[in-house]
Amino acid sequence: MKSIYNLVFSLLLVFSAASYADNGPTNDSFSDYKHFAVLSEVAYHNKSKIKQTAEKLGWLVSHYRIIPDIEVLYYILSNHEKRSQVLVVRGTANAENALIDAAHKLIPNSALGIKLHEGFALAAGEIYAVAKTQLVKDYKTIITGHSLGGAVAVILAMHMDKDDYAVDAVYTYGQPKVTNITGALTYKQLNLIRVVTPKDLVPLVPPFDALDVNNLDIYWHLGREVILLPGNKYSETSGIESMLRASNILSEKIDERNVVHHSMSHYIVLIEKKLGDAEKVVHKNNLNLFKLFSQ
């Protein structure tokens, strides 16, 4: 059985390396990262500010709602001329949202056929029940959000992909994990870009234990991870390389930098430094992957 696990993870590692090798960010990509980062950040403000910011960026607010009980806010932007729409989900902003974050048990989701984070799946299900009546099915659709909002955005993309909406891309910022390895592989076709900062702990939650590398039912990220480094530099990871970042960060002392690195204002500042002049550097993990697979 152990040899089967090792084979599965070896194949997963190959898949992770190959999937994004020729599809990395370009300088133009960082303009998109900023565009949707601004829309994710303004979700923490009032409706008037959201409307004003959206209009400056060429969008109209076509739907705005706060889901009762769980107090999750989302809004939909439309550009009918371009036949495009954006679904934005606000991150953690109150005690009700914190309870969603805390409900981190992986449970089966019958609609999607995979296991999902209990709290994020609940929020996504309630949003989708209403939002799908407001979305235009054949419009090019972008889904975005920060923190909790990013996690819910990924699950919304899964629902929309299953229902044949034209999901063009998902941009998340500081997004925690939402599913396990099976779920990540089931929805690997999603064009998910997870933008993170080096000291942000939230994308590592729930934490990954390297000794669990043979356990197929652990939390696992999907999509391409773009790491915003200081200045104009950035790195890119996916699959197990992305998961093993936790071993680098969690071995360090936690301080106020971790909070700063999770803020949307910090994300936007780092993205702006790469506009028109982004330089990709190789990301290095401290752990030896081959030793992990042979344990």
Query: With 90 as the cut, is the pLDDT of residue 125 above it?
Result: yes
pLDDT tens-place string over residues 195-215: 999 889 899 877 654 445 555
User: By the 8 A CB rule, do 182 and 114 touch?
Assistant: yes
pLDDT of res. 25: 61
> If DSSP states are collapsed to H, E and C, what string results for 244-290?
CHHHHHCCCCCCHHHHHCCCHHHHHHHHHCCCCCCEECCCCCCCCHH
Between CA 73 and CA 247 the distance in angstroms is 33
Higher pLDDT, 131 or 256: 131
- At residue 7, the pLDDT reads 41
User: Can you give the pLDDT at residue 26?
Assistant: 56
* Whether the model pTM is above 0.85: yes
Section 110-136 average pLDDT: 96
The whole-number average pLDDT for the span 33-54 is 98
Of all residues in the chain, the percent with pLDDT exceeding 90 is 65
Structural domains of the chain, ranges and CATH numbers in brackets: 2-294 (3.40.50.1820)
